[in-house]
Each structure stands twice: as C-alpha cells, then as structure tokens.
Amino acid sequence: MAETRVVILSGSASDGPWVDKIASTLDGLGVSYVRRVGSAHRVPEHVLELLRGYDSDGIPTVFITVAGMSDALSGLTDANVVSPVIACPPKSDSFGGLDVLSSLRTPPGVAPMVALNPQNAAIGAAKILGLLDNTIRTQVGADQKARADKVLAGDESIADIKL
C-alpha cells in the first residue's frame, strides 16, 4: 500500500461544515487526509508555504480546495503545485449561485477540476489515489457497488412485476 493523502485546504474556518462532508467520505473510503485553512486573498504567503511543503515531500497528494465567492484559492493552488487539484466551492445563493463561475473559468494552464458535491470531490480524489493504492481502489469499487445495490433494492421494493 502506497502512502498517499488528500490535503483539504479551505479558505476559512467557516467552511468547516463543507469540509466535514468531504472528510467523512474520505474516512469511509479509508483515505488519509489533512485539513488546513488559508485564504488566497488574506494570507497568500501562508498558502504558498503550505503548498510548497505538501507538494515537495514526495507523498502522492490530491488537493481539494474549499472556497467560495471568487475562489482564488483553487487557481492559486493549481498554479503552484504539480499534484491534482479539485475545487469544491461551498453551495451559495450569493449572486444567484453564479459565484461558482470563478471555479470554472480559469486561465490556460490553471486547471483545477471542479466538483460541486463534497462527497463527489472526495470520491474523485480517492479514484486518483487509487491509481497508486489498490486498497483505496478496492474501497472505491465497494462503495460504488453499495450505491448500485441500494438503487436495485429500491427498484425491487416497488416493482409491480417480478421477473
């Protein structure tokens, strides 16, 4: 089993409930993670220091960034690491929900992936790390099967005609 991890980097401590959803899913998949807080606008040097440390220590890492409004954190992170970055901005009704566009519109060469559902961000990170760690890969497969079985059980419970 390879040593791997997810770094969940949020823009502020108030993003905690969204981060908790990501962390809970990673726990269920057996994926190691660390939580950090750093704002691209308020403490960019702190963020850059964190990124340099995690991206240079040789441990395969996926970054999940959690920041709303202008989401500069995702772009700053992606532009400064060679590891994959998944932007997972918290749900917002601000600006009619259009603030999510800041996570989607990035300049060429700055390419964070975007997952709007925190569980999906965690699953995406696990799938990436599963390329290096068969234990994680197996757990992702088991999670997919459990979700499929739940759908099939729901169908069976309401089906009028049994085959």
Q: For 75-114, how does the pLDDT look when each residue is reduced to its tens digit (9 = 90+)?
A: 999 999 999 999 999 988 878 888 889 899 999 999 999 9
Q: How many CB atoms lie within 10 A of CB 101?
A: 12
Position 16 scores a pLDDT of: 97
pLDDT bin (cut points 50, 70, 90) of residue 162 is: low
* 5-158: CATH architecture: 3-Layer(aba) Sandwich (3.40)
pLDDT, tens digit (0-9, with 9 covering 90-100), for 117-137: 999 999 999 999 999 999 999
Hey, what amino acid is at 57?
A: D
Q: What is the mean pLDDT of the chain?
A: 95
Strand partners, 85: 63
Q: Provide the residue ranges of all domains of the chain, joining segments of one domain with +.
A: 5-158
Specify the pTM. 0.94
pLDDT, tens digit (0-9, with 9 covering 90-100), for 64-80: 999 988 899 999 999 99
